[in-house]
Structure 1
Amino acid sequence: MPQPTVKSQGSARRCLIALGILGMVIEESIGGPVSVRTTLLAILTIGPAYGFQLHGELESRTAGRRAVNVGQIYGTLERLVKQGAVESGGATADGLPLYRITTSGRAEALDWLISVESPRGEEWNDLVDRVLLASSLPHVDSLALIGRYREHWLASAEPSGNQASPIGQELLEAGARTALASAAVAWLDSVGESLLDPRAATFQRGLSAVRPRRGRRPVPVA
């Protein structure tokens, strides 16, 4: 089988980046769960990784909830490099460029991993995605995160003493908020029990050494 030429590799790379930009535009326009940016930075706190590796890690560590296209992964990585959150980390033995988190990128990732704040309307998705990802990282105290989230959800369900009793749609929304808070606390309690189980060590893991079936070799990071 003929090997791809430099020109064809460049074309493939441009296609990946174009898909990545389109994915980021769509995500910014319609909202969605945790951003690809923060999840990639969180995964890179484990160590340097290449694009397709990060693609697989993101999907597996969020149980398929964050299955994004590879072009979006590379597009986000390029943007992170330009912003100084990620830098070149060398290359694998067969030439795949590695990406390494910088000091500022690590600080951003660790701040996100201990936060319980979310954009309005994305509280549930953020909760699940953040806990799933945090529980997979060896250096993150997942139980502490669960404790903070539990307090956060309990507080959010309490009515404000300075407001009149809700009526109409506000009454219905308050009921929905209370129901969601109850579901969140119940799920967090279940997660806490699972993480205290003797088999919980299987949750936390380093980067997978399994190579992707297909991949591209983008131009090395500058």
Structure 2
Amino acid sequence: MSVRQSLLAILDHGACYGSQLRAEYERRTGARLNVGQVYTTLERLERDGLVEGAGVDDEGHLLWRPTAAGRAEAATWIAHASLAEGRDEVALKIALAVTFPDADIHGILAAQRAAVREALDAATRDEGDAVSAAIVLAARRARLEADLRWLDEVERITADAEPFALSEDRPRRGRPARSTV
């Protein structure tokens, strides 16, 4: 989930200061967020013209509110579908390891499977206090269950995989060696 858009969406419902915004994020999602990340994100949102200062509260906290552009970005984000995109670090690690002659693929898959099962057990024991937290936990459980099915498929795919050495083909471009003189 995008922290940037999440904070904008929360601010669209009322001005908040940084720690308040963090607390609202955690209350609404059940997910932890570092307060430093909140303030860094607010600074970037301000730089990008999506939030602005809204004065200070009675205790001297700097309040933030979205600009018109920030409200539009939050509304667009909430209304449109989101897919989990980007690099899958676990898949890339396993894909890389299967090419190495000394990699214990069965051990790697067993360790990954054990970690996923442990996380799934924890997610199954944990129940959210609010509907929003329960939604996040249900999604986590579903993804972990899918990860277990995926690991079974990876085990099947890698059963006959052959590792290989570095390629003899060399790219024409590269960084030249530094002079040691």
Q: What band does the TM-score fall into relative to the shorter chain?
A: 0.3 to 0.5
Q: Which has the higher contact order (CA 8 A, sep 6+)?
A: 1
Structure showing greater Rg: 2
TM-score when normalising by structure 2: 0.47
Q: TM-score, normalised by structure 1?
A: 0.39
